[in-house]
Structure 1
Amino acid sequence: MDTTLLADTDYPLLNIFWTMLELFLWVLWFFLLFKIITDIFRSHDLSGWGKAGWLVLVILLPLIGVLVYLIARGQSMTKRDIEQAQETQAAFKSYIRDAAASGPDGGGGRSHVDDLAKLADLKDKGAITEEEYQQAKAKILA
């Protein structure tokens, strides 16, 4: 008896595609479930009891709970996603501004680059001489 022929026809190609579709739908389902649970906890307009109720509904009756949640609160999910993205971007920009303002030495004041730019500007305007510029530059870089 030839076992390799039996193994080749044991799982037809259509069953492979069906299995891949089922796997994809499971991954999609879990992604949607985690997205909704995250949205429940992040929602500021729900009370603690409201969050608990939605969570119980989504966990105990997952298909019905997820569909009802999407119908009832689907548009507000998008608004909360946008608000969170804007808050994250604002926090990132604030961090960048604070980091750039602190300068390379970690202090809260001006950086050496700012001081050198002001010195160069003073020299260009003729307020200080080349010798004074070089002395002040050496002092800043030391």
Structure 2
Amino acid sequence: MSTRDHMFLYPKDVTIFGFDWGELALTVAPEVNGSERFSGGVVDLPSGKGHARHNHPGAEEIIFVISGNGEQMIEDENGNPTVHPVGPGCTIYIPESRFHSTTNTGDGPMQLFVVYSPAGPERALRELPDFRLIPPAERHSQ
């Protein structure tokens, strides 16, 4: 791929991070296209699935709901959780190091676009026990 090809990526073009709760297609990252200050990609959550409570030490996150409906939990600065319903078009800001979780509560798939700043929190995902790499040709969702 040329440098220009790395600037225009679809989720189907990259190796997917697979988990029991869904998939992450990392389309922007230092190792994908040389981005220096942030990383991000498309998350697909099947109905009833979601990622467990976690945080990204030293990083902020933006979540944009592309499709589907769910619940977003974010803990406040005292560790008290707040849960909000979210749907298509909702932008969610996760402050630095704040614990959060997302769950698909709808009948169909939920798709999100996530951005981490600075880049790097996605590297820790490789350490999770259910982590697996899915080559582009084996991906089930679009």
Larger proportion of helix: 1
Larger radius of gyration: 1
Q: Larger % of strand: which?
A: 2
Q: Same fold (TM over 0.5)?
A: no
Higher RCO by CA contacts (8 Å cutoff, separation 6 or greater): 2
Q: Normalised by the shorter chain, which TM-score bucket?
A: under 0.3
Alignment TM-score, normalising by the size of structure 1: 0.23
